[in-house]
């Protein structure tokens, strides 16, 4: 994937299949790529998908958890089929993202719009004040 697709991203979820060791190795390569090319403040989460198939597990939880800890990643096992931890991984990422005005996140170039805001150069006025 070209860096232009994740340039400026504040977060990424790298997903592997717990029943397939090759996907875990590829996930590690993606993590390296993001750490090398993406924003230095990017929040990276590693998701071990198919947690509903633990009887077919190839990638052990402890191995993925240790890898995540060594590389400063959030880690959860998830199931797209049953929705296990799907919302939770997004909530964990949201908690790690810098708050408004937090210099740790750097300037993404975006502008926060608030109700009734009439910022300089903006053609937007209040939505509800007529």
User: Does residue 110 have a pLDDT over 90?
Assistant: no
Which pLDDT tens digit goes with each residue over 48-85?
Answer: 999 999 999 999 999 999 999 999 999 999 999 999 99
Rounded distance, CA 89 to CA 77, Å? Answer: 9
Q: Is the pTM of this model over 0.85?
A: no
pLDDT at residue 6 in the model: 82
- What are the structural domains of the chain? 3-98 (3.40.50.300)
What was the pLDDT predicted at 20?
Answer: 98
In this predicted structure, what is the pLDDT of residue 102?
57
Q: What is the DSSP string of 78-90?
A: --TTT-TTHHHHH
Most confident stretch, 67-76, 98-107, 113-122: 67-76
**What is residue 98's predicted lDDT score, i.e. its pLDDT?**
84
What pLDDT digit, counting tens, does each position of 1-59 carry? Answer: 567 778 889 999 999 999 999 999 999 999 999 999 999 999 999 999 999 999 999 99
Has residue 86 got a pLDDT over 70? yes
């Amino acid at each position: 994937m070209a860096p232009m697709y994740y340039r400026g991203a504040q977060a990424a979820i790298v997903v592997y299949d717990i029943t397939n060791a090759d996907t875990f190795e590829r996930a590690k390569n993606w993590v390296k790529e993001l750490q090398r090319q993406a924003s230095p403040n990017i929040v990276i989460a590693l998701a071990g998908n198919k947690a509903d198939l633990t009887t077919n597990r190839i990638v052990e939880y402890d191995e993925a958890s240790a890898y995540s800890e060594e590389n400063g990643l959030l880690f959860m096992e998830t199931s797209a089929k049953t929705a296990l931890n799907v919302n939770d991984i997004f909530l964990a990422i949201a908690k790690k993202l810098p708050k408004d005005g937090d210099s740790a996140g750097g300037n993404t170039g975006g502008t926060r719009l608030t109700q009734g805001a009439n910022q300089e150069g903006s053609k937007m006025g209040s939505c509800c004040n007529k």
